[in-house]
Structure 1
């Protein structure tokens, strides 16, 4: 797996953001039995920048915790049967999953709000976004339940607890 990692924020999460992200993404992909090596871009930023991106791409004028920009349009989550419709890096052959943007301010505030460590919140947001990159969504109640269960399963698999 290739992770392109960029941290634009001076805020500290109290952990190695790149190392943690790599382990969480790779663990999630392993748990989900993704049959390809993958490439992911991760940008860590602040509330102001993620608010700007949220407004530009989703027309929602507020800061959010995580944004996901998938490179593939899965009709069904994890459906890799139509390889010709998937985006691969021509140089590495890796499946281009897409981009993840996380607000470090939201990681810290939500960790405090939910009473767990910043590492757990950071990992949760990464897993949530990876699931979006693989075709999962939570707009409908049934989809939400499936996605929430997958998030819990992956956190348990990685032994990341509250």
Structure 2
């Protein structure tokens, strides 16, 4: 398994501890789903302006958002639906996709919701990972299922809401 994290912003400091916490959270999401294949996930930490640009390019929404997920493998609730997708044959890994997180939004929302920056960041990250795995919040039932999965991971990392 490979988890790549690229920090392309300079507004919020990112410590080695935060990088390690993020990697642990991704691994826990995939272990929780019993995802048995070697995988690759890319995470890009960005700022409000860059995520706004990408949000506009990809979704025609001209405002910053907190997290964007770009799944590569066709999955539905943790199950691969198609053999089409990006498989790195040299490394023998499935490339699940990319997650972009606005560190500025994460900081703003942590203050707004009254919890730690780490809690908000990992909430956004797990949200992105579950989107890569084919979970969504397009119906009440699916949203409940997705958020329950996120809560399990946050609780395991002692980052639940108080």
Q: TM-score, normalised by structure 1?
A: 0.91
Contact 2:73 2:82 in 1 (8 A): no
> Which secondary structure does the structure 1 equivalent of 2:83 belong to?
helix
Unaligned regions of 5+ residues in structure 1, if any? none
Contact 2:55 2:65 in 1 (8 A): yes
Aligned to 1:112: 111
Q: 1:160 deviation in Å?
A: 2.1
Aligned to 2:121: 122
Distance verdict in 2 for CA 1:2–1:106, change over 3 Å: same
Contact 1:8 1:43 in 2 (8 A): yes
Contact 2:8 2:46 in 1 (8 A): yes
Q: 1:35 deviation in Å?
A: 0.9
Aligned to 1:63: 64
Counterpart-to-counterpart distance in 2, 1:84 and 1:66: 27
Contact 1:2 1:38 in 2 (8 A): yes
Contact 2:74 2:82 in 1 (8 A): no
Aligned to 1:24: 25
Q: 1:20 deviation in Å?
A: 2.1
Counterpart-to-counterpart distance in 2, 1:96 and 1:110: 29
Q: CA RMSD in A?
A: 1.6
Counterpart-to-counterpart distance in 1, 2:46 and 2:65: 11
Q: 1:157 deviation in Å?
A: 2.5
Aligned to 1:77: 77
Contact 1:13 1:119 in 2 (8 A): no
Q: 1:13 deviation in Å?
A: 4.5
Q: 1:3 deviation in Å?
A: 1.6
Contact 1:13 1:118 in 2 (8 A): no
Q: 1:14 deviation in Å?
A: 5.7
* Structure with greater strand share of residues: 2
Contact 1:15 1:119 in 2 (8 A): no
Matched, 1:149 2:148: yes
Counterpart-to-counterpart distance in 2, 1:68 and 1:62: 16
Matched, 1:40 2:41: yes
Counterpart-to-counterpart distance in 1, 2:73 and 2:103: 26
Q: 1:90 deviation in Å?
A: 1.2
Q: 1:154 deviation in Å?
A: 1.7
Q: TM-score, normalised by structure 2?
A: 0.91
Matched, 1:99 2:89: no
> Which secondary structure does the structure 2 equivalent of 1:149 belong to?
helix
